[in-house]
Amino acid sequence: MSNIAERNRQLLHFIVLPTLLLTVVLLGGLRVDAHTKQFLFLPPPLVTLLSAALLAVLFLRAGALELHRWLAIEQPLLVNAAHLLTLLALFFASAQAFNSVLPEQGLLHGMFSFLFLWTLWTNQFAAFDARRLLRSLMVLFGTAFVLKHLLISGLDSPKGSWLGRLTATVLQGVSITGPGFAPATGYISFVALAIYVMALMLVMPPPVEVSSSSEALLLGDSVARTDSLNPRPEDNQN
Amino acid sequence: MACCFIIQVGMNKRVIQITGLVWTIIYALGIIWIYATQPRSLKEVATNTQLAAGVYEVNQEKFNNGLGLFRRDQFRAAREEWAAADPAQHDPRTQFYVAYSFYREGWGRTYDDDQLFKEGLTAVNRAIEHAPGGSLTVDDPDLQMHTATELKVELEEGTERSWSDLNPMKLFRQRK
């Protein structure tokens, strides 16, 4: 039984987790043009890389990422290399998650970028643990998703919603939104964010030590349940 | 017995780790490639994959259909067929014919259509770019220009402005 659990843990840690993160990297920049229905792959803008860097620091400060468990001199080179790639995938997945909910251009691009950076910067000085950080990120991305794909996309609607007409009247001559995208873009973004949150649950260690897997299940917290997925130096010894 | 079990577990771990590492690298490279090539549809993803794998081939039936239309002076229809035959615009011979169709459609006794000639120039440049060694010869008795370089020069001259454009003898020139 422990052999099976061990193998599953290894599979999740070395194969499933990087796959999830890289899928976010792939989908985070994918848009579908409203008119031609063609794919557009947008690489992460500089501001999303900066946001991802701030988020990485936040992960470390909150203890969501315990770097000494991921990269350690005692671990074999193969394990360190795999972990390094996973961490890189996490960084770019974070950047693409921001890219996914950031308006592409116009006034709102600037506003969203500023708000992301401001939130991440102020969070650097707040007391966080892994669980609270995960919830905070879910709220941050959830809010940005709703604003971009539900409210702002209405501004681009060909029929023109009342919100669109009102905003166009208030901000005459100012480009507030970017190019129009098909509704499929919102679905793709939703899937990308869902996968990102799922991957974060696999990455983050529990806020409190859980002594056994049964106890973890009793806690009913997905974060706690992932205790066994985090790299432990003793697991990685061959 | 216990020793064998420990060795087997260690082996499994190593296999999973190596598989994970290799898979992560391949997937990451695939994503970089997709963002670099910017495919616009799933069909284009498949075409680009064929190109990368070196198994890309022109649809010969559609190419021949296009050739038939070209010989009947139905240039736009011919280009539609060739676009379907060579969706990646990677086959030098097809791109040569595309350029030639722009030349013949844009050619005029008194003046040439600059826009069509420019599109022809783009197509012939693609043909030269993808031709082995940058040199392409098409043995087609129906054509009067057989190399991509000849066609390119003809298209370039057609888009240039010079005093020779006012030469009345130009009225007697023939389409190639």
Closest Cβ–Cβ partner in B17, B27, B31 for A14: B17
Is B41's CB within 8 Å of A43's CB?
no
What is residue A155's predicted lDDT score, i.e. its pLDDT? 65
DSSP line for B71-112:
HTT-HHHHHHHHHHH-TTS--HHHHHHHHHHHHHHH--SS--
Counting as low any pLDDT under 70, the low residues of chain A are 1-2, 154-179, 205-238
Q: How far is CA A154 from CA A5, A75, A97, A110, A187, in A?
A: 48, 52, 21, 19, 15
In chain A, positions 154-213, which contact chain B (CB-CB < 8 Å)?
none
What is residue A161's predicted lDDT score, i.e. its pLDDT? 60
What is residue A218's predicted lDDT score, i.e. its pLDDT? 36
Q: Which residue has the higher pLDDT, B163 or B129?
A: B129
**Portion of chain B with pLDDT greater than 70, in percent:** 94
Q: What is the CA radius of gyration of chain A?
A: 20
pLDDT band at B106 (very low <50, low <70, confident <90, very high): very high
**B163 Cβ contact list (under 8 Å, min separation 6):** none
CA distance B102 to A164: 44
Element (H, E) at A98: helix A77-101
Are the CB atoms for B20 and A14 separated by under 8 Å?
yes
Residue B22, Cβ density class (10 Å: 0-12 exposed, 13-18 middle, ≥19 buried): exposed
CA-angle at A210, arms to A207 and A211, nearest 5°: 155
Is A18's CB within 8 Å of B41's CB?
no
Residue A221, Cβ density class (10 Å: 0-12 exposed, 13-18 middle, ≥19 buried): middle
Closest Cβ–Cβ partner in B9, B20, B44 for A6: B9
pLDDT band at B2 (very low <50, low <70, confident <90, very high): low
**Dihedral of the CA atoms A123, A127, A128, A129 (nearest 10)?**
170
CA neighbours closer than 13 Å in the CB half-sphere of residue A147: 16
ipTM: 0.79
pTM: 0.73
Is A14's CB within 8 Å of B21's CB?
yes
CA distance B124 to A69: 57
What is residue B98's predicted lDDT score, i.e. its pLDDT? 96
What is residue A213's predicted lDDT score, i.e. its pLDDT? 43
Question: What b-and-e string marks burial along A154-191, b requiring 16 or more CB atoms within 10 Å of the CB?
Answer: bbbeeeeeeebeebeeeeeeeebbbeebbeebbebbee
A122-169 pLDDT tens trace: 888 888 788 888 888 999 999 999 988 887 776 665 555 666 666 666
Of A14, A21, A79, A12, give the one whose Cα is nearest residue A226: A12
Which residues from chain A sit within 8 angstroms of residue B21, using beta carbons?
14, 78, 81-82, 85
CA distance B67 to A9: 59
What is residue A230's predicted lDDT score, i.e. its pLDDT? 55
Residue B113, Cβ density class (10 Å: 0-12 exposed, 13-18 middle, ≥19 buried): middle
**Dihedral of the CA atoms B55, B59, B60, B65 (nearest 10)?**
-170
Is B17's CB within 8 Å of A85's CB?
no
Instruction: Calculate how close chain B gets to A79, using CA atoms only, in Å.
Output: 7
For residues B63-84, give the mean pLDDT.
94
What is residue A130's predicted lDDT score, i.e. its pLDDT? 82
What is residue A170's predicted lDDT score, i.e. its pLDDT? 61
Is the pLDDT at B143 greater than 50? The verdict is yes
**Residue A43 DSSP code:** P
